[in-house]
Amino acid sequence: MERIDTDICVIGAGSGGLSVAAGAVQMGARVVLVEGDHMGGDCLNTGCVPSKALIACAGVAETVRGAAEYGVRAGAAEVDFAAVMARVRAVIGTIAPVDSQERFEGLGCRVLRGWARFSGPREVVVGEVTVRARRFVIATGSRAVVPDIPGLGSVPYMTNETVFSQGARPAHLLVLGGGPIGIEMAQAHRRLGSEVTVIEAGRCLGREDPAAAEIVLERLRAEGVAFATGAGAVRVRDAGPGVEVVLADGRIVTGSHLLVAVGRKPALERLDLVAGGVEFGAAGVTVGAGLRSVSNRRVYVVGDAAGQGQFTHLAAYHAGIVVRQAVLGLPARLRSDHIPRVTFSEPELAQVGPIEEEARKAHGDGLQVLRADFAHNDRAVTAGQTEGFVKLLVVKGRVVGATIVGAGAGEVLAALALAVSARIKVSALAGVVLPYPTFAEAVKRAAGSYYTPTLFGPRIRAWVRFVQRLP
């Protein structure tokens, strides 16, 4: 058996692991990178990249259908589903070289292809290779949760890990789960020509601002997506060429295909963490504020495996925290109040910091809510995309959170993510000069409303009357 001694062993070549490996090796550390599946991890192969590529194709189809509203005669949108999926694969292929084994070997990493398992607190075994490292970074990501619903194991179903390998368009897609993944895939498939029903035991997009979520859901209803909410699935049955889902209230929903999108859980089962002396739970590895294992100080964790959230950009942020400590020997602590998220529906729903309900619980009467509707934004009006609003949550003159629902919300959120991260005052947002016309002006309009009570109040009016009497 081959033995390797190294400074850092990164387990998992997804977003977080690749960021740690690239940073560490270019700073001079010896790095071994281990990956048992596809380089690039979930984000490249079964998550962010293919889903956004599919959404882009669906958006084009919807644009063609609505072209007449803009005075353009485009005819009916004819979707070639196989060609759509071919484009999704092509997009993955375009990005793949950046995450490839060849690139990371070129940077100086030793790349091992296989599943790692701890054989002790300082060693992992990968096939016929034993790796002994000063530091380990667990970056194994997560996998789709498959709920324990009677009958589910006896019918074909898809998850986000298999939905992008479809060869033919589903006639009627049942989406089990009304979170961001479920909503994105529901709208995309509907726009590509499938009938779609979303099944959700609670409220769809339940983590998001209710008013913002309702705008998204209303658009999906208008496009023909059906919803069966308020009761969970209690049984799944084969229905000949399709599948039946029985709900707790007795309703039966029938479709041709089933997509399970009820969440994800950390992928830790192959690691033998007990042998490594690494404490863990259902949410992930138990870590401190620096993403370091509380039970094995040689181990750090990034991304979904850390149990702090499941976003590619969060994994990249984690990587920076870990590199600062494990590579540079500098202190670094995790923040969670400034992490943004986006549901890539149309309209998009973007959030940074707490939603209004959460902020009210935390700040009480000290919270001020500022809002600007896209209906009063000239760029939105010219584009015919007036759905939605910008909402700023302000405490003591500083932005602590923001919700945007509307066209390009994820892009518009960038300034507000900076505002929350850097604790920028609302006065800076109100005073910035933005190009006209842009969607981002809605942020400036909302921020400016912070001063409305003062600027148009009785004291200013009295002062203005005094000034106007001066010669």
CA quadruple 206, 207, 213, 219: dihedral positive or negative? negative
Average pLDDT score over the chain: 96
Read off the pLDDT band of 303 (50, 70, 90): very high
200 is in an annotated binding site: yes
pLDDT at 21 over 90: yes
CA 256 and chain centroid, separation: 28
Residue 458 has pLDDT above 90, yes or no: no
Handedness of CA 308, 313, 315, 320 (dihedral sign): negative
Any binding-site annotation on 312? Answer: no
- pLDDT one-digit tens code per residue, 135-160: 999 999 999 999 999 999 999 999 99
Q: How far is Cα 365 from Cα 454, in angstroms, rounded to an integer?
A: 18
**Distance (Å, whole) CA 270 – CA 386:** 49
**Contact in structure between 359 and 401 (CB atoms under 8 Å):** yes
How many Å separate Cα 420 from the centre of its chain?
Answer: 18
pLDDT band at 206 (very low <50, low <70, confident <90, very high): very high
Per-residue model confidence (pLDDT) at position 82: 95
Task: Say how many CA atoms lie within 13 Å of 102 toward its Cβ.
Answer: 3
- Mean pLDDT check: name the lowest of 248-252, 443-447, 456-460: 456-460
Q: Is residue 401 over pLDDT 90? A: yes
Q: Which amino acid type is present at position 353?
A: G
Using CA atoms, how far apart are residues 15 and 1, in angstroms rounded to an integer?
30
396 is in an annotated binding site: no
* pLDDT for res 138: 98
Whole-prediction pTM value? 0.94
Residue 151 marked as a ligand binder? no
- Look at residue 461 in the predicted model and tell me its pLDDT: 87
Q: What is the pLDDT at residue 412?
A: 97
140 marked ligand binding residue: yes
307 is in an annotated binding site: no
Walk me through the domains of the chain, giving residue ranges and CATH numbers.
2-39+100-144+265-327 (3.50.50.60), 152-262 (3.50.50.60), 340-455 (3.30.390.30)
- CA-CA distance, 350 to 405, in Å (whole number)? 6
Question: Is 263 assigned a ligand-binding role in the annotation?
Answer: yes
Reading the block at residue 212, the tokens are 């913002």
The yes-or-no verdict on residue 464 having pLDDT over 90 is no
pLDDT of residue 411: 97
- Report CA-CA distances (Å) from 190 to 41, 62, 176, 231: 27, 10, 15, 23
Residues 227-261: tens digit of each pLDDT? 999 999 999 999 988 999 999 999 999 999 999 99
pLDDT over 90 (residue 312): yes
Whole-number pLDDT of residue 454: 81
Residue 36 has pLDDT above 90, yes or no: yes
Q: Residue 321 to residues 40, 71, 122, 155, 229: CA-CA distances in angstroms?
A: 20, 51, 21, 43, 40
Q: How confident is the model at residue 326 (pLDDT cuts 50, 70, 90)?
A: very high
Cα–Cα distance for residue pair 217/345, rounded to 1 Å: 9
Q: Does 142 show up as a binding residue in the annotation?
A: yes
- Average pLDDT (357-384) is 97
pLDDT of residue 456: 84
Task: Read off the tokens for 250.
Answer: 């007795």
pLDDT average, residue stretch 288-316: 96
Query: Annotation-wise, does 182 bind a ligand?
Result: yes
The answer to whether 42 is annotated as binding is: no
pLDDT of residue 392: 98
Q: Binding site annotation covers 242?
A: no
pLDDT at 167 over 90: no
pLDDT of residue 396: 96
Residue 319 to residue 311: CA distance in whole angstroms? 13
Q: What is the 3-state secondary structure of 149-202?
A: CCCHHHCCCECCCCHHHCCCCCCEEEEECCCHHHHHHHHHHHHCCCEEEEEECC
Q: What is the pLDDT of residue 358?
A: 97
Q: Give the mean model confidence (pLDDT) for residues 343-352.
A: 98
Q: Is 424 annotated as a binding residue?
A: no
Bridge-based pairing of strands 398-406 and 389-395 is antiparallel
Mean pLDDT computed over 316-337: 96
Residues 168-193: tens digit of each pLDDT: 999 999 999 999 999 999 999 999 99
Q: Decide if pLDDT at 75 tops 90.
A: no
Taking 90 as the threshold, does the pLDDT of residue 76 lie above it? no
Q: How many CA atoms lie within 13 A of 343 on its CB side?
A: 32
- 304 belongs to an annotated ligand binding site: yes
* Residue 123 assigned to a binding site: no
Rounded Cα–Cα distance for residues 429 and 442 (Å): 11
